[in-house]
Amino acid sequence: ALAAPAAFAEKTSPRLRWRLAASWPISLDTVYGGAEFFAKRVGELTGGRFNIRVYAGGEIVGGLQVLDAVQQGTVEMGHTASYYYIGKMPSLAFDTTLPFGMNYRQQNSWQNFGGGNDLLNKEVFSQFNIVSLPAGNTGTQMGGWFRKPLEGLGSLKGLKMRIPGFGGKVMARLGVNVQTLAGAEIYPALERGVIDATEWVGPYDDQKLGFYRVAKNYYYPSWWEPSTQFSLYVNKTAWDKLPKEYQAAVHAAAAEVNVRVMAHYDAVNPPALKQLIDKGVTLRPFSKDIMEAAQKNAFELYEELAAKDPTWRKIYGEWKKYRGMEYAWFNVAEQGFADFAFPQVPRSEL
């Protein structure tokens, strides 16, 4: 009788070779490295029996076709950001970030203990035959690169800025002439003055694209991405056939990547920011009137969507309540400490 579980484990531990399509080029080593770590860890956890090979964006499908590829079963897995696909369904944004949404810890809490992940899988990802799990984060991103300093809210009128997604929708309401450009087109457009501004991620990733050479004003914070979650997608048909042991490996490895990608960004962003400042970049906060107008317009947009999109309405109600609870809580001990302690360290310690 004692041998029965082992025999069971052997029978249910098939040799699998899966493919994971990542949205990232290899050069985004924090997040691409997260996808590779995930695959390596699942291999280690299963004695090499569950083999996952990672493909960078463009190798099997384009970086923005990962959802389609997982849905159709072209690949069994993806590592991506759900907000790339809001054209299919706006509610996918809740899985990544929204303007004036939650920070890293708040998003993790909602996903894991606030019912967020279950709700998103039930209401959103089931429609794409996908199971999604949180698998990495950037934290609050930077607001991006502006050729000229802004002079308050009025200076956004007519400004040509590359900013996709919900951030772009809110910027458009503030009068910005929103541009959509693929990664490789951004730098030349900014250099030639075809656009006045662009946003990307944060110091470490932004530095590689060289924006600092042609736009010296680096704004913060990205009020449109208070924390940007990456997700691990699994084709649901393939997921349902996975042995429980392999499902556990996917869960645990995705959670480990969630910690590691965030920890990696927090390790590499400070020295990158220091280098950017040393190269003549000026850090500038968005003015209060811009922040206020953006927040007002963001929530007006959410309410408009709630009025016409039942899925959005359902998730938005839950999300907004959780967000309020977390903001009010963070405003006590966490901010009480941060507001006193962090400003006492000068930027020279970056």
Burial of 279 (0-12, 13-18, 19+ CB in 10 A): exposed
- Of the pair 89, 156, the CB lying nearest a copy of itself is at 156
Number of Cβ within a 10 Å radius of residue 243: 18
Contact yes or no for 100/226 (Cβ under 8 A) = yes
The per-type count for the chain, helices as H runs and strands as E runs, is 13, 11
C-beta of 62: minimal distance to a copy of itself in Å?
29
Which of 244/308 has CB closer to a copy of itself? Answer: 244
User: Is the separation of the CB atoms in 147 and 215 below 8 Å?
Assistant: yes
**Residue placing its CB nearer to a copy of itself in the complex, 193 or 271:** 271
d(CA 66, CA 241): 21
Least distance (Å) from a copy of itself to the CB of residue 290? Answer: 10
Minimum distance from CB of 323 to a copy of itself (Å)? Answer: 8
Closest CA to 90 of 100, 78, 98, 101: 98
CB of 142 to a copy of itself, least distance (A): 5
CB of 333 to a copy of itself, least distance (A): 4
By beta-carbon proximity to a copy of itself, the closer residue of 125 and 204 is 204
Residue whose token pair is 């998103």:
120
Q: In the complex, what is the shortest distance from the CB of residue 31 to a copy of itself, in angstroms, rounded to a whole number?
A: 14
Amino acid residing at 300: E
CB of 183 to a copy of itself, least distance (A): 21
Q: Which is nearer to a copy of itself, 13 or 177 (CB)?
A: 13
Please say which residue, 59 or 299, places its beta carbon nearer to a copy of itself: 299
Surface-to-core class of residue 109, CB atoms within 10 Å of its CB (0-12 exposed, 13-18 middle, 19+ buried): middle
Chain Cα centroid distance, residue 132: 13
Strands 217-220 and 144-146: antiparallel
| Residue number with CB closer to a copy of itself (71 or 198) | 198
